[in-house]
Amino acid sequence: TQVYLNGRFINQQDAMVSVMDRGFMFADGAYEVIPAFYRVPFRIDQHLARLDFSLSSIRIENPLTHEQWRGVFDQLLAENAGEHQSIYLQVTRGVAADRNHLWPKGLVPTVLVMTSPLKMRLDESLSDIQGITAMTTEDLRWKRCDIKAIALLPNVLHRQRAEEAGADEAILINEQGQVTEGSSSNVFIVKGNEIATPPKTMPILGGITRDLVIELLQAGTQYKLSERMLLQSELRNADEVWITSSTKEICPVTMLDSQPVGNGNVGPVWHDIAARYQQYKL
């Protein structure tokens, strides 16, 4: 497997970073996950714009131009296995001389890009798609979840907790009893004719898949789309619950906290949006 590290394409086993890298010491960096279907990065402009936002929010200058990022992605996608791949990129503040919270001037950011084979979930007959299970848990994260920061300890603990409770994803609830998002996904609910998702004014990641779902829904459907606060009780009483992410696409949740969502089956509104998404993707 080839990876890109600081300007060079090398084998993954040979890719080494100093223990003094601030990514290792402080989780001081940002990342992106970009799906590539048929070896073509999907919604790349949106992902690169979000990378610019994350990096400027943590005051790291983007070390590559968009043109250069695309060149790196194309080379890795061509050389690595997988008709569909997920691109992972990470930029840290760089390697410092000593461990000091304060960052020194003139650091050179560390840049890593790698890919891994991606199972395109929504490529088969939609009627074969199974729902997943989710559990709700308290959102333990900081206030800047809009930044795609590499500091993912709370997300890791949330996800692990869900796994140990037999659930595929953790859906996070803030102190006011409102839904924020999943441990690595955004959340939508359907109730009657309304499709609702928490607004980006909340501390959540502005998911690229979330934005696309909204875009597809706004392009002439009969549903009422709302970006609004969702209470945990609304999640429990929803007809349908979906989670979205670059790697999970649009994924129906059919069990929530060991109770069926709606009638426990993958719902008709999900089928509608999944078909639109599939069509857009191909």
Tell me how far, at minimum, the Cβ of 11 lies from ligand PDD, in Å: 23
Under rule CB under 6 A, residue 244 binds ligand PDD: yes
Nearest residue to 115 via CA among 68, 92, 82: 82
Tell me how far, at minimum, the Cβ of 19 lies from ligand PDD, in Å: 24
Nearer to ligand PDD, 103 or 206 (CB): 206
Nearer to ligand PDD, 115 or 185 (CB): 185
Residues 187-206, mask of contacts with ligand PDD (x by CB under 6 A): ------------------x-
CB-based contact 115:85 (threshold 8 Å)? yes
Under rule CB under 6 A, residue 213 binds ligand PDD: no
Tell me how far, at minimum, the Cβ of 47 lies from ligand PDD, in Å: 7
Under rule CB under 6 A, residue 181 binds ligand PDD: yes
Tell me how far, at minimum, the Cβ of 69 lies from ligand PDD, in Å: 16
Torsion angle (degrees, nearest 10) of CA 21, 151, 4, 35: 180
Nearer to ligand PDD, 95 or 244 (CB): 244
Under rule CB under 6 A, residue 226 binds ligand PDD: no
Pick from 22, 246, 262, 270: which binds ligand PDD (CB under 6 A)?
246
Nearer to ligand PDD, 200 or 228 (CB): 200
Residues 123-162, mask of contacts with ligand PDD (x by CB under 6 A): --------------------------------x-------
Nearest residue to 207 via CA among 230, 174, 181: 181
Q: Which residue has the tokens 């069509």?
A: 279
Pick from 209, 253, 267, 274: which binds ligand PDD (CB under 6 A)?
209
Q: Which residue has the tokens 């390697």?
A: 95
Residues 27-46 touching ligand PDD, rule: CB under 6 A, are: 33
Question: Per CB under 6 A, which region of 163-171, 180-188, 189-197, 274-282 contacts ligand PDD?
Answer: 180-188
Under rule CB under 6 A, residue 116 binds ligand PDD: no
Under rule CB under 6 A, residue 85 binds ligand PDD: no
The count of residues interacting with ligand PDD (CB under 6 A) is 15
- Supply φ then ψ for residue 206, to 5 degrees: -75, 90
Under rule CB under 6 A, residue 184 binds ligand PDD: yes
Hey, which residues are catalytic here? 148
List residues near ligand PDD by CB under 6 A: 33, 155, 181, 184-186, 205, 207-210, 244-247
